[in-house]
Structure 1
């Protein structure tokens, strides 16, 4: 939304410079007399100050509607919109809400809103916007709307106070920090646009209704997204922050690597891992490595022989060289899994008893199960084009082949893999490899989504059912907001059941590895917002 033609011209000039691979400059006045050498140096520093930052990203964007977005556009939304609460690994932090409290059993929560927050339209944030945004997300029933399932009603107490009454106890502040489905929108603007579908069309044309530090200046989902700083952002601005942030779609990993090393882009991830040591020696970039909340699973079809036999599933779990996979596939940029929850999250237990590589134990279990020489075939699917999944599949084929098990590997595009998995379990794949990361950082998102009993299969691609397990995790999530130690105890018991029943093989949790050009500082990955770069936190060096 350009206020003046002159402002638009300056932005167009900045973008032209950025796209050509050069940083923008601040205009300086030509001195009337020749400057000294020191003055020349000072002028040079001012002129070279960047005001554009570019994030090279692997995939095209999907949707700009905060109520329904559940994919790649997550990297846009937290820069344009804000949640009530912000998740960090160190704890929940105020965002649009400055504080919150609950009743004793966690069935009623009150949030106190930050005063003086403006949306990009100029409208002021009030509790009505919070109520409208969440109710619209729930009403549409798409994307991550399920996170609000505990909410029975939302009451506006006053302009800056909002009350949630829940159907059952829940950790609502954690839910309100979700990277999907929890963003607050400008209801005064959007309610004038039309119905939910009309609003979605409006937003997906490149408009926004957020209160975040950046507005959407240009939206070309297959090539690039340009964000412009919002001058009236409640957090304020300093001179070394970036006026323009660009998300440039660069699918080729090698090209992204070249671009970040040269400074044509400033931030990149998902680069060839075997090149990271070389980049660590490059004085033009900084490599940042941090544990993610992502984990790779091999889901085992518990309905279909021979994997309906727990002993066979346990045997396969012992016949996996976990540490070798981390070295070969991840080049040690990650960690072998310790159960279903990634490190750093609630529900991760370093001392949880898990499977280790023990081929002799695997042979013993197969013999007990009635398959002393293997003698059966398994169909394993993974997402075509995922190099890491392909390498894991080949390792499993080789290791299980040593037990006399024939593994047919089927690389499939996601839609085909998904369709096969959602068909009749007796006709579906035997082993399904895929990644999971949380909608918001709770172990319940992992344990419920993939292992809770389901009448209609969604993500439980092991087709697993254990009522005792279901009861434990359902009780645990209700205690997260009021008795965290009891919740941990229940989650641990549930995970011990999973390890015994072995409905899946828990392979590894990859690290987030970002490469940052030396001209940018202040970046820190936040595993609660996967692949997001918070541009407001960055500074020019």
Structure 2
């Protein structure tokens, strides 16, 4: 994934804050915890209102071409894409497109649009509207617009067909299903229009936005939605601020909320088996990575970087996460093209000692490796891991200092400072792909950058750059060769050690037991497609 706005806020993990101990005890006894009560409309939650608990300040950008942060959970219910990735089948399925064809060389794609679709304005969805939407997104070069880079020309063929002509082969059906930058919308020259009136085709429209309020965003049903409203579907969606995980757990237990994601495992455990809630768990595509500053001493020495990576006990780190993480098999998580379990992953502590000795560090050398690691403040899983990493590295003569920094105002700006010595040594963040391809794990994080964006290891390898530039076309034309290329790319990263593989997030979602039809799709991190659900 890319984080081109506030990736530090993605995922929106809520910490184990002030009331956790009280809430754990209270939930065990089915009693309220004093001083930690939450509000909500229980009657609506039980009937036609879906209450999604989120962190405060959910929406940072309303423009669907610019959005690249947590508001994805809102906008994915307001806007739609041509296709959507089905994790179970490993294929795309139609949303605004009903079918599509590709030329043999995968450089020309033609999509046929669904009939009788209307924007929230009442205007019909046309091929020209799709063309204008994607061209504007490409022109703005914001968010994940790079996914459209292979597109040279878009042509509207009549009212219901759109043709994409590419400069190189690419899987446009996957691109069109991207989490960001693939939404279809009515184009407006007035930026305020995207906030004041939703310009999508989705099942919900924006009823209200109150950034400082308990209910930050409220959506209401678009009655003319092409998918209809048969059955007991939710007609209203409320994104309710619950910045404290203790409050979120209470609201779920009391029935005043419908969905909570990112609760600490300690609180999830207290909710298991309760008749009014269901806990869903599955591995995600969100990886926790530590980017090591390859330009700053002592990590500019590959031996030191590899030693740090080898010195960590990853099994112990995963165990300490209490179910929030599983061990990483490589750069690419399970379920994606190119994933493999046969890479020679770091974790050889004897090799760590040898490498440190070669580099002139380690016990008995008189030289200590001093490192500072930063992570997005408020992420208690990472804070717990940081404390353990500090203890694990100490016997190797590595002094690790750990600091949680506000993403937007401190951590990311510091990593982009011109003076390399003012940057942190290890930059910890979550990463997941923008579309159902693994390319953004490499293109965004490890491809050579002239201007610092997300390659916060400041890593450069011309050979890897060439493979990154080639693998997208291979995915479309020769998937087996793409798999082999992705393996080589991962071996390069492991060899050069710009990254610590700290684990892959396990989704732990708590939903009301009234909810039917929930599917946790790792291609759309933290998104609930509410119209797909029904309730009792």
- 1:42 matched residue in structure 2: none
- 2:9 matched residue in structure 1: none
Question: Secondary structure at the residue paired with 2:505?
Answer: strand
How do 1:130-209 residues align onto structure 2 when only pairs under 5 Å count?
130-187=130-187, 190=188, 195=189, 198=190, 200-205=191-196, 207-209=197-199
- 2:241 matched residue in structure 1: 249
- 1:477 matched residue in structure 2: 472
- 2:204 matched residue in structure 1: 214
- 2:454 matched residue in structure 1: 459
Question: Secondary structure at the residue paired with 1:487?
Answer: helix
Determine the C-alpha separation between the residues in 1 that align with 2:212 and 2:160: 39
- 1:420 matched residue in structure 2: 414
Determine the C-alpha separation between the residues in 2 that align with 1:321 and 1:260: 35
Cα gap change, 1:411 to 1:22, in 2 (>3 Å): closer
Question: Secondary structure at the residue paired with 1:23?
Answer: helix
Structure 2: tracts of 5 or more residues without a match:
1-37
Checking the alignment, whether the CA contact within 8 Å between 1:62 and 1:221 is kept in structure 2 is no
- 2:327 matched residue in structure 1: 336
- 1:264 matched residue in structure 2: 256
Determine the C-alpha separation between the residues in 2 that align with 1:52 and 1:118: 24
- 1:21 matched residue in structure 2: 41
The question of 1:497 aligning with 2:492 is answered: yes
The question of 1:51 aligning with 2:43 is answered: no
- 1:129 matched residue in structure 2: 129
Determine the C-alpha separation between the residues in 1 that align with 2:232 and 2:411: 47
Q: RCO higher in 1 or 2 (8 Å CA, sep ≥ 6)?
A: 2
Does 380-389 or 489-498 show the bigger shift?
380-389
Determine the C-alpha separation between the residues in 1 that align with 2:56 and 2:342: 37
Runs of 4+ more than 4 Å apart = none
Cα gap change, 1:221 to 1:346, in 2 (>3 Å): farther
How do 1:345-384 residues align onto structure 2 when only pairs under 5 Å count?
345-356=336-347, 358-373=348-363, 375-384=368-377
Determine the C-alpha separation between the residues in 2 that align with 1:336 and 1:533: 26
The question of 1:239 aligning with 2:223 is answered: no
- 1:43 matched residue in structure 2: none
1:483-525 deviation line (CA, Å, top 9, x unaligned): 1111111111111111111111111011111101122222111
Determine the C-alpha separation between the residues in 1 that align with 2:456 and 2:122: 47
Structure 1: tracts of 5 or more residues without a match:
1-17, 26-48
Question: Secondary structure at the residue paired with 1:54?
Answer: strand
Determine the C-alpha separation between the residues in 1 that align with 2:350 and 2:475: 41
Determine the C-alpha separation between the residues in 2 that align with 1:370 and 1:51: 66
1:386 to 367, 379, 389: 379
User: How many pairs does the alignment contain?
Assistant: 489
Checking the alignment, whether the CA contact within 8 Å between 1:222 and 1:249 is kept in structure 2 is no
Determine the C-alpha separation between the residues in 2 that align with 1:376 and 1:245: 51
Question: Secondary structure at the residue paired with 2:420?
Answer: coil
Determine the C-alpha separation between the residues in 2 that align with 1:154 and 1:336: 42
Normalising by structure 1, report the TM-score.
Answer: 0.87
Determine the C-alpha separation between the residues in 1 that align with 2:126 and 2:358: 65
- 2:20 matched residue in structure 1: none
RMSD: 1.8
Q: CA deviation at 1:19?
A: 7.1
Checking the alignment, whether the CA contact within 8 Å between 1:118 and 1:234 is kept in structure 2 is yes
Question: Secondary structure at the residue paired with 1:486?
Answer: helix
Checking the alignment, whether the CA contact within 8 Å between 2:40 and 2:257 is kept in structure 1 is no
Determine the C-alpha separation between the residues in 1 that align with 2:128 and 2:421: 50
Q: CA deviation at 1:108?
A: 1.6
Does 66-75 or 408-417 show the bigger shift?
408-417
Question: Secondary structure at the residue paired with 2:125?
Answer: coil
Checking the alignment, whether the CA contact within 8 Å between 2:373 and 2:426 is kept in structure 1 is yes
- 1:85 matched residue in structure 2: 83
Normalising by structure 2, report the TM-score.
Answer: 0.88
- 2:17 matched residue in structure 1: none
Cα gap change, 1:421 to 1:147, in 2 (>3 Å): same
